[in-house]
Amino acid sequence: MTRVASAALVARVVEVGESDLIATLITESCGKVSASVRGGRRSSRRAGGSLEPFHTIEIDLEDRGGELMVLRESRIVRVRARLAASLGGLESAGLALRWARHLFPPRVPEPDGWGALLDLLDALDVDDAHSRQELARAGLRILAAVGYGLDFERCVSCGRSCPDGKAAAVDPTRGGLVCSSCGSARTFLTAGSRRAARALAEGRTGDVTLGDADSVLALVADAMAFHAGFEGPQVLGYAPRPPR
């Protein structure tokens, strides 16, 4: 038996039987884990309201070698009260945690993905006015963290660079831009949306409009759905715009 202590985020909690819980946690030290919380619906020591999404918690786990770890203790160490009171912020934060739950491999530390989630939650806790822009930025970062980043600079097939200020075809299932010589793509980014996508991929949300953020989110949703094995991006909670 191994003991694990880590900061964590709660991605999902499912009730089991009369008093137990199973929690899916995104942890800093060991990635995505599932843990049983015996008596968690009654025990203030093991759960006691701490298994709430969007707050950062500290957890004490026992790894007994099975599929499920056992949660011994948990406590909230970073409260995000403003986020918890914002509908737009809750929607964006919940979707990001759902992405992580489906995309992160079990028990593999994802430091960049973990950082992307914390940065998103902290930004939404300060101001939710640009929640879609922040979500698009986080989505691109999460994809890159697990090796599925989107390239908005050059064709993913032949490597040919796309000039600045030019519109481009994008196939998120192939990893980014696709030039006309290398086949067709289902999505087309205007020059403005491509510029916004590049800014978001570099971590900047400054002048990105809501429309451009939604165009990027459509790409992120397509990529998430493809790599996580879903039938369609709407399963993730965000239906992209029809192809243009």
- Specify the CATH number for the domain of residue 152: 1.20.1440.120
CA distances from 238 to 18, 135, 138, 235, 242 (A): 33, 11, 14, 7, 12
- Same domain, yes or no: 216 and 98: yes
Looking at 59, 79, 99, the residue that finishes a domain is 79
Is 159 in contact with 185 (CB distance < 8 Å)? no
Last residue of a domain, one of 31, 48, 79: 79
Q: Which amino acid, 232?
A: G
Residue 244 belongs to a domain: no
Domain end call among 55, 79, 103: 79
pLDDT of residue 40: 60
- For the stretch 208-222, pLDDT in tens is 999 999 999 999 999
Residue 161: strand pairing partners: 154
- pLDDT confidence of residue 41: 55
Q: What CATH number does the domain containing 56 carry?
A: 2.40.50.140
Classify residue 135: in a domain, yes or no. yes
Residue 45: predicted pLDDT: 52
In a domain, 57, yes or no: yes
Res 66: pLDDT: 86
Is residue 241 a part of any domain in this protein? no
Give how many domains the chain has, as a whole number: 2
Q: Which domain holds residue 14?
A: 2-79
What are the residue ranges in the chain where pLDDT is below 70?
Answer: 39-48, 230-244
pTM of the model: 0.90
